[in-house]
Structure 1
Amino acid sequence: MKRTLIAASLVACSFSAAAQTSTEEPNIIYIIGDGMGFEYISAYRYAMSDLETHTVAPIEFDAMLTGAATTYPEDKTWVTDSAAGATALATGEKTYNGAIGVDNDKHPLKTIMEMAKDNGWATGAVSTSQVNHATPASFFNHHPSRYEYNEIADLIAEQVVNGHPSFDVLLGGGRSYFERVDKNWFEILPDYGLAITTDLNSLDEIDETPVLGTFAPKGLPFAIDGDVNALAKMTDAALRLLEPKEGSFALMIEGSEIDWCGHANDIACAVHEMDGLNRALKVVREFQEKHPNTLVVMTADHSTGGLTLGRDGDYAWYSDRVMNIESSISSMVSDLLKLDTEKWAGYVADKVNYDMSEEYIDELMSAADEDEKDRKDALHDALIYITGDITGTGWTTSGHTGVDVPVFARGPHSEAFRGYMNNTDIAKVLIDIVK
């Protein structure tokens, strides 16, 4: 069955003259589309559009676009990872790839969230990745390596135990890092005043802060395989919990798994993650319309995958075929590994809603000749080729790229984000507001 997505209609956000010139500190909503280069926005817009009439769909991103930013880290590569990118966006300082809130010498860098909390602001983050992943961790913690997930979870928990949490709301995945055999923080942290929830659909029942919500063992399921509204639900809950706080708040929202789909070279997965972010942006816009003294800033930490719309010299990208794909590549691989090989071609044809040519079948069946330990990767590579060829989608890498990324802004101080910027300049403007 074809999955139907919804592109929210754009509604112009108006602000009163009083709100625009207010001397009160604005709320800050800081949004990061992880891995979201300009090409992902193009793909999402076309996927939402009417192919027959060439009516281009309005999406929430459009009215907010103000400029572009560089993403390079503090080394000689020009290509950042998410940790260095997030640290730049959280602290205004460049650092090495893999660094969580530390500089090149591994010394802690004060983050915007820590500065905000020191000055009486409420703070929070929502993410479709685990809450101790590179981006959210870089806003609230300091560690020399992004890959020490248990240690970063411990840093988050120890803030609460010490009575100085840098967050009021922290929502995403990552349950397995807090509920471990060696240390079960879920049994400890409620005694220190932290509300804990592991049920995304029960967020409405949470009415106290600080709160930690972890809704999956690691990252949340991909939007194409799970709940496309997950990020919007978490965003709505975070805003509801932060808004009554005295004074201003700063909230970071990350559409994390755009990047993960890019790493997987999975176009249908990526478009659905973009739809999940678009739905969260609708929640943000509606909040901002009610609270005009709110600055919304959005960017990406880098782009991922070298996505191209069009490949092999063909002047075509088939958005309808993208939208006919029903599952992520990773989900299909998991299912295929459980099936007899003679059922593979039929299964894939049903999932991509497209006839399997002999070439596609040969590509798929070549994985059957691989050893069990290599079969998973071989199936993944075959599905990248099949889905890419069907849809006219190209990829240049399974990693990140060094291209510029979009910058968006709306609300008080939004004029400061116009034109071409370094990613560190985005953070510096916001830090000046919270100081």
Structure 2
Amino acid sequence: MKRTLLAASVALLAGSAMADDHQQPNIIYVIGDGMGFEFISAYRYAMSDLETKTMAETQFDHYLTGAAMTYPEDDTWVTDSAASATALATGEKSYNGAIGMDNDKTSLKTVMEYAKDSGYMTGSVSTSQINHATPASFFAHHPSRYEYNQIADLMGQQILDGDAAYDVILGGGQQYFIRDDKNWAELIEQQGVSVITDMQQLEQIQQAPVMGLFAPKGLPHAIDEGKDSLARMTSTALRLLGNGDKPFALMIEGSQIDWCGHANDIACAVHEMDSLNKTLEVVNEYIENNPNTLFVMTADHSTGGLTLGRDGEYAWYSDRVMDIEHSIAYMREKMLVMDADLWPRYVADLVNFELTAEHIERLAAASALEGEVREDALHQALAYITGDITGTGWTSSGHTAVDVPVYATGPHSEQFRGFMDNTQLGKRLIDIVR
């Protein structure tokens, strides 16, 4: 599968030279969920030309300014997305699972809520459901990230009460907002909010407020059917938020880098990185035309313990990564409803590589099982096969405690240089919008 990387469109202006000192800046806050430095390396190598040895230029290269710690408020050192997003949104540490709350389960005011108070338009774009850990932590307060219906209720009720902290919110989550016991789509439309459920409707929306719910849960992986989803939603959000006299604050999450990391799926992860890179092209174009915009990007943590190289072999096969045609999740779903005798040929065709005897044996072992155990074993077999043929290593199906990158450009960007704690990003953004 041949892939082409769009070249970076502009070199961004750093610092505040082009900013209007008397006007509050727009804020674009990007979170690559699960995006440790190793994912950026993998993406760059995967996009580079092996024949000419030409290294690909990516949108991540323009504005790296530092790194951040990610640990939660306990003694584990390893954060989940909720605790980290709470830190990034409020400037305060909390426990794993907390949505906009501190250790005592007291609500913490978020940068988006401060921005609203200061007259900003606000919004969020994510490829997860909009009530997932990261977007929810910017707009809601709940003691448990896993209470998805309750978090949806909190976000819906904000509109009915006339105090919503968001004007544009786009992602997945239909099954949480459109339920038998509560249809938030109908209720909030009665309050003048447009609710759209088809991504083809994005271009038709001419003004905020709007809620987009484009999938039952998360959107399809970029490698499967969601290639341009994040960039399209971001383009719409910037158009709606940036067409008035007010400044805006927009959080953009590349949600599924993390999901692919949990799945130990390297091809999936690289394509999610490509999706985020294409989104940054949209952001860069906006900033070029609107220099009074502060751009800050980081990750909430890294996921999977990704290594480029494994088993003592000094090689990582980027061409083989890009030859894989679908995610492990996609392959597993299709394989579970077909005759297991067809599995080896099916996998070989989709990874574009002849399987070894060991690969076939692992598939056969999974096929002999039943139920969820069979599903899990098949997933592990596919993760092993794709890792083995590409030279990709994974140490975990969870998160890791390594430091993550920080990027910034625009007015006040000097505040985001060097090594910092993740809470400092939230605190500094709150100070800017207050």
TM over 0.5: yes
Deviation, structure 1 residue 246: 2.3
Aligned to 1:52: 51
C-alpha displacement at 1:20, in angstroms? 3.5
Kindly state the Cα deviation for residue 15 of structure 1 after the two structures are TM-superposed.
7.1
Counterparts of residues 138-287 of structure 1 (less than 5 Å)? 138-287=137-286
The reply on whether 1:414 has 2:392 as its aligned counterpart is no
TM-align CA RMSD: 1.2
Displacement of 1:126? 0.2
Alignment of 1:304-343 (within 5 A): 304-343=303-342
Amino acid at match of 1:421: M
Judging changes above 3 Å, is the alpha-carbon distance between structure 1 residues 192 and 49 closer, same or farther for their aligned structure 2 residues? same
Q: Structure 2 vs 1, CA of residues 367 and 15 (structure 1 numbering), >3 Å: closer, same or farther?
A: closer
Q: What stretches of structure 1 of length at least 5 have no aligned partner?
A: none
Residue 40 of structure 1: SS of its match in structure 2?
helix
Shift of 1:164: 1.1
What is the rounded CA distance, in whole Å, between the counterparts of 1:9 and 1:249 in structure 2?
Answer: 25
Superposed counterparts of 1:17-32, under 5 Å: 19-20=18-19, 22-32=21-31
CA distance in 1, matches of 2:15, 2:83: 38
Deviation track 1:357-395 (CA, whole Å, cap 9, x = no partner) reads: 111111111111112331110100000110000000000
Instruction: Measure, in 2, the Cα distance between the counterparts of 1:21 and 1:133.
Output: 35
User: For 2:16 and 2:368, how far apart are their aligned partners in 1?
Assistant: 68
1:331 offset after TM fit, Å? 0.5
1:109 aligns with 2:108: yes
Deviation, 1:145, is 0.2
TM-score computed with the length of structure 2 as normaliser: 0.98
Does structure 2 retain, via aligned residues, the 8 Å contact 1:67–1:418? yes
Distance change (3 Å), C-alpha of 1:246 and 1:306: same
Structure 2 equivalent of residue 131 of structure 1? 130
Q: Distance in 1 between matches of 2:164 and 2:14?
A: 33
3-state DSSP class of the match of 1:237? helix
Counterpart residue identity of residue 63, structure 1 = H
Q: 1:305, CA displacement in angstroms?
A: 0.2
Q: Which residue of 2 aligns with 1:36?
A: 35
Q: Does 2:85 align with 1:86? A: yes
Kept in 1: contact 2:195–2:211 (CA 8 A):
yes
Q: Distance in 1 between matches of 2:167 and 2:7?
A: 29
Question: How far did 1:193 drift?
Answer: 1.1
The code of the aligned residue for 1:418 comes to: R
Distance of aligned partners of 1:5 and 1:326 in 2 relative to their CA distance in 1, 3 Å threshold? farther
TM-score by structure 1 length? Answer: 0.98
Deviation string, structure 1 residues 224-243 (Cα, Å, up to 9, x no partner): 00131100000000000000
Q: Shift of the alpha carbon at 1:34?
A: 0.2
Following TM superposition, by how much is the alpha carbon of 1:4 offset from its aligned partner in structure 2, in angstroms? Answer: 2.5
- Partners in 1 of 2:2 and 2:377 — Cα distance? 27
Distance 1:149 1:37 in 2: 26
How far the C-alpha of 1:60 sits from its partner, in A, is: 0.1
Q: Provide the rounded CA distance (Å) in 1 between the counterparts of 2:369 and 2:202.
A: 45
% identical equivalent positions: 64
Q: Contact between 1:8 and 1:278, CA under 8 Å: does it hold in 2? A: no
Letter in 1 for 2:31: I
What is the CA–CA distance in structure 2 between the aligned matches of 1:127 and 1:358, rounded to whole Å? 41
Which residue of 2 is the match for residue 385 of structure 1?
384
Counterpart Cα distance in 2 of 1:201 and 1:21: 36
- Give 1:22 shift: 2.3
CA offset at residue 17 of structure 1? 7.3
